[in-house]
Structure 1
Amino acid sequence: MTEFAEAMNDTATRTVTLDRPLVRGEQTLETIQVRRPKAGELRGLNLRSLSELDYAALETLLPRITTPMLTKQDVAELDPSDLMQMGTEVVDFLLPKRIRAALPQA
């Protein structure tokens, strides 16, 4: 696999395992896929607000980039730790490669 393909594979989609599963009627969501947003999906949003994990910005963006698609009501029902997990994935997606490369690896 090429370096570019590895980088895209590594960062295109992330799976977030919820600390507290989200219940929608009879469906229970234990994991959510969060994918790298495209520029158009950031419309109407302030990048600084996203980088600060602003709730309103995440509430708008997450329905655009999650599978299964979260609604605004779903976002409101998330445990704060789960919202934080998804928000940190979003922030990581927004960082340039050179900055991510300089960060310590977990």
Structure 2
Amino acid sequence: MTDKTTAPAELPQVVTETVELDTPFKRGSQTVTELQIRKPKSGALRGVALTDVLQMDVTALTKVLPRITEPALTEAEVRDMDPADLVQCGGVVSGFLLPKAAKAANE
């Protein structure tokens, strides 16, 4: 019997982007001026159509953003967000969903 040893697989890096909010908001005594948005895994996209996320549908973003932001937004905070900030966040999320080949073609 031979013993095969393999090197442990590298863990995938968590991809995040920072969005600086045009209109910061208060959460208790804290003022939130920026959000970290991490690339969603499939589970964070449950219950929404990918086409809706890619089209930056407000209802889809309201469900997905609380699952992938730091600090974690509530659905009420997403609904109350400045539209310019929602567009910034939606652009980041939809960009995460593009395949590498599509990103390379756009550059």
Shorter-chain TM-score bucket reads: 0.7 to 0.9
Which residue of 2 is the match for residue 71 of structure 1?
74
Alpha-carbon RMSD across the aligned residues, in angstroms, is 1.6
Aligned residues: 97
Cα shift readout 1:14-55 (whole Å, capped 9, x = no counterpart): 000000102123211001000000011111110010111100
Q: In the alignment, is the contact (CA less than 8 A) between 1:22 and 1:29 conserved in 2? A: yes
Which residue of 2 is the match for residue 39 of structure 1?
42
* Structure 1 outlier segments of 4+, above 2 Å: none
Q: Give the residue type in structure 1 aligned to 2:21.
A: L
Q: Where is the helix percentage greater, Structure 1 or Structure 2?
A: 1
Q: TM-score, normalised by structure 1?
A: 0.86
Shift of 1:76: 1.3
Percent of aligned pairs with the same amino acid: 47
CA–CA distance in structure 1, aligned partners of residues 19 and 97 of structure 2: 17
Q: TM-score, normalised by structure 2?
A: 0.85
Q: Unmatched 5+ residue regions in structure 2?
A: 1-11
Q: Unmatched 5+ residue regions in structure 1?
A: 1-7
CA–CA distance in structure 2, aligned partners of residues 56 and 64 of structure 1: 14
Which of 30, 38, 46 does residue 27 from structure 1 map onto?
Answer: 30
